[in-house]
A and B are shown apart, each in its own frame.
Chain A
């Protein structure tokens, strides 16, 4: 060992002695620990031997999960939206089957077993514990149960187990809001708490069922059972009861859902109704809908393909994920921005010849009314939906101020509703265009943003929420599906507190009054674009119609709605709230390819508001 630097001389004897002393300490510690271990082994194998012999001799004491009952879901009036119905499940204990293929073929002669059932069964087979039943079919009919029961002696290892299956009494009426549960997939299984989901076969897939999965599922219980070597239960021993899932009461009103669904008829579209005071979602409809009960036990691939590939896209939740240009429904918000930022005033008039032109640009930005509106002030511009006024106002405001002000209403952002999958829409800005398109912002784009066209996109939920904010004069509440939660066996209901979002500040209250009065005249005045719905109206409505272009019309090109295929026709929109004096409901409706907002979308909103305000008592 060559050393470069001089080191103190080692005292080998002293080091050896030190080491030996330490070794002695280690030996003592080892002896002590070995005695602890021996003591434990003696305790288990000599003192408590009898006890453990009993446990192992009876053996085969095993712990079975007791699956908790899933929480129920009610609407605001106590109408049942999701329940659990008894059903029978076909299970196979693989260890007791000699020829699996033959058994499956045999069973297929008795009951319907799809290829999906078989595949899923094979998948679960590979992850199941020994002597545990692996489910093959769910929700057997009484007939099927009888057929299998009669031949059971010839089918060892085949069991029929009683079970609870999820059922949605209102079917497609609440599908897009409540969602559905389905059989747990292999991927989901990996992310779950395995002990809490032992024995659970279902999990929330979309909607409320998914968002509130933790609350609805409950806590698993255990039952100790004494089994023989074939895992047959001989005796039930002590158990811990499962804690059932909690009951949810929704803000949703199924009568409003029904009114909306009937009003839509064959049209595609979406409607969202919100209580402006609390953010409570009163109705959430996406048309067409589907029967969620189909999904509970897995549907066959033909039905699923039909649903998925239907041109009407019933599985698509338009209320949360449909992103549409808001069209003229954006005008009240633009008008408010103009007043509050002192860019315009009630007296100011703009001449509308039917088009608008920017300086140094020969492109004509057209009004929907060919001959123009003449001299219009802000009130008329909203009531008659004059585009030219808002081209001008948008130009004066500029895109930066438009973006900043409309953002405060939550446009272009997720509302944070308690359902997953909501899309944010889009409120364009200079920065956005730079980042996404790497292009500068053009004045012409500011103009069409001012009438809710161009890049601007919003979801029906977002529009309803923004309308609610307008109705409550700046108060913003997070849209909330769940009203209250109740623990099973507990009398008390825990309300879900409404969550306030950052409010839109008011500079001058009279500006808000002005806009709302103009919106009221959209419905209640002679020239209002939604005057068609004021017949026999026992309360006041403030609203705004909108039409969103599905495709662009070229310059100087005539456009006649009837000529164009239905699919290419404009989307019809309507936002409204009522009663104007004390708003209790705010609604946003979109009818895909509906054409005119006033004629097609507004009546649907009226039907829903009637259901809430007039027929409520």
Chain B
């Protein structure tokens, strides 16, 4: 009897907690996994940043802002987001053109728009606007999409991608292209079309190499095939990061004990190459754990996509989840030397704020899709 009453109290408490979470539009599994990843990231950053607590503090502030953005977006119903999509896309496109015209040249590439108080990368906005726009466009009609829908959608995909690639920011361009493509893929783009597109792309690769790719991009691809060909230049990153990963072994050298990173052999170790620091210090076991966290987040995103109640929600959630996968897969791939070096950070772990905010905004949208579900159903 006492057992029964305590069970009852327990259930009541749980459902009260759930209600609170639902009212706050928070998806608990996703939040826990993200917090776990962010926390782990801070530890790695402390090590990679030569134990300067200042770097960790600054990253902590950025994380707080980014999580704040996530909570804020989670409050907005998917319907509203869907209505915003064309506006976001249009503004983003205008800004991209603006960057092209009068962008402040930084690091040799035109990416930033100086807005007086702060500078802003319109390409970041496009990472969200492109999948939202395409999803909204395709969800307006029955799936699989008609030829006309597909054609317009491919324009929504190509124009921003090419603008960003021109800046040149290959990493972000790839992400934007992927996010848009995933929407089309999930919306049922026919296999025949995809295969013929793939053949077309493969056939145009030599042209791309000849006319589109910048000299430094070619060098990076060549150095992937043979890092030793330019050990002082573009191959240097990959040589040093594979040494870091490989020397980590099964169990790693221990936190703060990575020699590759602490003796300055590893470049960009707080930002794009932070995965090498992690691998060196926590080994293969650590990598399994890290991958498990990433895959948990991915899996939760996919579940949210499958459980979404309308086509727009499904497409957006699916695309954002798969783009998240591309994010960490490409980063780990380039650090471990199976993909060319493109400037992509490891989500939530790398030092830096811009892409972090976009990333968390995407998770905010995922939470919104999931937590507004029942309200919509009623």
Contacts and interface: CB of A to CB of B under 8 A. Distances in A.
Partners in one complex: yes
A16 B188 CA distance: 11
Given A10-B311, A36-B338, A59-B263, A19 B318 contact: yes
Given A26-B186, A27-B302, A195-B232, A41 B260 contact: no
Which of B263, B336, B337 has its CB near the most chain A CB atoms (within 10 A)? B263
A266 B284 CA distance: 79
A341 interface: no
B336 A37 contact: yes
Nearest to B310: A12
Interface string A20-49: 101100110010011011101110111011
Interface stretch (B27-35, B63-71, B138-146, B369-377): B138-146
Contacts of A130: 264
A52 B144 contact: no
Contacts of A220: 232
A30 B142 contact: no
Nearest to B338: A40
B329 interface: yes
A18 B144 contact: yes
A7 B141 contact: yes
Interface in B165-196: 182, 185-188
B284 A18 contact: no
A13 to B, nearest CB: 12
Interface stretch (A60-68, A172-180, A368-376, A518-526): A60-68
A52 B243 contact: yes
Contact of A23 (B232, B244, B246, B302): B302
Contacts of B182: 26
A15 B243 contact: no
Contacts of A108: none
A265 interface: no
**Is chain B's interface secondary structure helix, strand, loop, or mixed overall?**
helix
Nearest to A190: B108
Contacts of B185: 22, 26
A10 B233 contact: no
B244 A49 contact: no
A49 B263 contact: no
B186 A23 contact: yes
A51 interface: yes
B263 to A, nearest CB: 6
A180 B244 CA distance: 44
A53 interface: yes
Interface stretch (B8-16, B115-123, B247-255, B348-356): B247-255
A59 B284 contact: no
Nearest to B233: A195
Contacts of B154: none
A264 B247 CA distance: 71
Nearest to A15: B143
Contacts of A42: 284
B284 A26 contact: no
B279 A41 contact: yes
Contacts, number: 143
Contact of A34 (B243, B291, B305, B314): B291
A57 B249 contact: no
Contacts of A194: 233
Nearest to A227: B263
Interface in B181-220: 182, 185-188
A63 B185 CA distance: 46
Contact of A56 (B247, B264, B291, B302): B247
Contact of B249 (A45, A60, A195): A45
A9 interface: yes
Contact of B263 (A7, A60, A63): A60
A229 B182 CA distance: 48
Contact of B306 (A9, A10, A20, A46): A20
Contact of A44 (B186, B187, B232, B245): B245
A203 B260 CA distance: 34
Interface in B233-248: 233, 236, 242-248
Nearest to A47: B246
A212 to B, nearest CB: 23
B250 A45 contact: yes
Given A49-B249, A130-B264, A15 B311 contact: yes
A11 interface: yes
A220 B232 CA distance: 10
A8 interface: yes
B246 A51 contact: yes
A23 B318 contact: yes
A33 B329 contact: yes
A487 interface: no
A16 B291 CA distance: 29
B33 to A, nearest CB: 16
B327 to A, nearest CB: 13
B247 A57 contact: yes
B290 to A, nearest CB: 10
Contact of A16 (B265, B287, B302, B314): B314
B17 interface: no
Nearest to A231: B263
Contacts of B142: 7-11, 15
A198 interface: yes
A8 B141 contact: yes
Contacts of A198: 232
B97 interface: no
A326 B187 CA distance: 78
A9 B141 CA distance: 8
Nearest to A3: B140
Interface string A266-304: 000000000000000000000000000000000000000
Interface in A52-80: 52-53, 55-57, 59-60, 62-63, 65
A222 interface: yes
Given A45-B284, A46-B250, A23 B305 contact: yes
Interface string B257-287: 0011001110000000000000100011001
A10 B314 CA distance: 15
B359 to A, nearest CB: 18
A492 B305 CA distance: 71
A114 B172 CA distance: 48
B246 A52 contact: yes
Contact of A52 (B242, B250, B265): B242
Contacts of A49: 246-247, 249-250
B336 A44 contact: yes
Interface in A161-211: 194-195, 198
12 contacts: A7-B141, A15-B142, A15-B314, A19-B305, A23-B318, A30-B322, A40-B336, A41-B284, A44-B245, A44-B336, A45-B245, A53-B247
Given A37-B332, A59-B259, 15 more contacts: A10-B142, A19-B188, A19-B306, A44-B242, A44-B246, A45-B246, A45-B249, A45-B283, A48-B246, A49-B249, A53-B247, A56-B247, A59-B263, A60-B263, A194-B233
Interface of B: 79, 140-144, 182, 185-188, 230-233, 236, 242-250, 259-260, 263-265, 279, 283-284, 287-288, 291, 295, 298, 302, 305-306, 310-311, 314-315, 318, 322, 325, 329, 332-333, 336-338
| Interface pairs A-B: 3 shortest CB-CB | A52-B246, A195-B233, A56-B247
